[in-house]
Amino acid sequence: MDPALLREREAFKKRALAQPIIENRKKPKKEESTKSKSSKKQITTKDKPAISYKSMKGSSQYKFSVLAKIVKHMKLRHQRGDTHALSLEEILDETNQLDVGPMQRHWLSTEALVNNPKILVSQSNKFQFNPPYNLKDKKSLLRLLDKHDQLGQGGILLEDVQESLPNSEKAIRVIGDQIIQVTRPTDKKVVLFYNDKSLSFSCDEEFQKLWRSIPVESIEDQKIEEYLQKQGISSMQDHGMKSIRAQKRKKGSKRNKTFKKHNDHMADILEDYSQKGQH
């Protein structure tokens, strides 16, 4: 062969060996399968909606929402006048909660309703509303207010009366002026007081005008008392309780106390051995 061609061939081989060769190897089927599975999982998790624990029937929030609905229903039916006891199944039927599971039913019948202060449990394992006061009609309300007035316990909140007395608005309207309603300035709650008409008295209008015409808001009690004394009027004074100091006990005297002798009728028989012991 031509020596020139041989030299070119050798040079081509050297250049070919000097350049790196990249091979496109096929990936194993296992890696492809795992990648496809992971991609499918990502797609499925994105498509699924987020789980709401509030809507789950086993959560505590769901249980307490069922309990709150039951207590509210028992209160409303008591205010309507339906005071007879109901079983748990009847309560769930009236509150449209028959889909409550057995775990929640067991919790309601053994813990939640039994320990709730607004619910009473009868011997037949039935439930009814427990009002703040045992009121049946307007007469029982007047007796309760009169008792509070005589014992100096003040009034009763209107909301407690509404919870206790069925059809309370009608009863209060019929009672009329036998009850005094006062709105508390702190929380704007209405308080009912007994209006004892035996304590009411009539006063002359001229005396009322004179009484209201004298401003005494900016005057101290001591100045009012001095003015009354100058006019020859004796004012009432609150002397209060006098403090009684505890008397100190006197220390006992160090003198020898003379004791009374007993058994004087045996004076002839008894002998004194104090002198004999000294000898």
What's the pLDDT tens digit per position in 27-45?
555 555 555 555 555 544 4
Mean pLDDT of the region 119-145 = 89
Q: What percent of the chain has pLDDT over 70?
A: 69
For the chain, what is the domain count? 2
pLDDT at 82 over 60: yes
**Same-domain pairing of 68 and 99:** yes
Mean pLDDT of the region 55-76 = 82
User: What pLDDT was estimated at residue 152?
Assistant: 83
Mean pLDDT of the region 105-125 = 89
Sheet holding 190-194, edge to edge: 156-157, 190-194, 179-183
Residue 74 lies in a domain: yes
Range of the domain at 68: 60-129
- Which residue in 180, 74, 168, 87 sits closest to 125, CA to CA? 87
Residue 52 banded pLDDT, cuts 50, 70, 90: very low
Burial of 52 (0-12, 13-18, 19+ CB in 10 A): exposed
Of 82, 102, 129, the last residue of a domain is 129
Of 180, 199, 218, the last residue of a domain is 199
Residue 263 banded pLDDT, cuts 50, 70, 90: low
The CA distance from 153 to 138, in Å, is: 20
Mean pLDDT of the region 46-56 = 43
Residue 96 banded pLDDT, cuts 50, 70, 90: very high
Q: Which two tokens stand for residue 139?
A: 């007469």
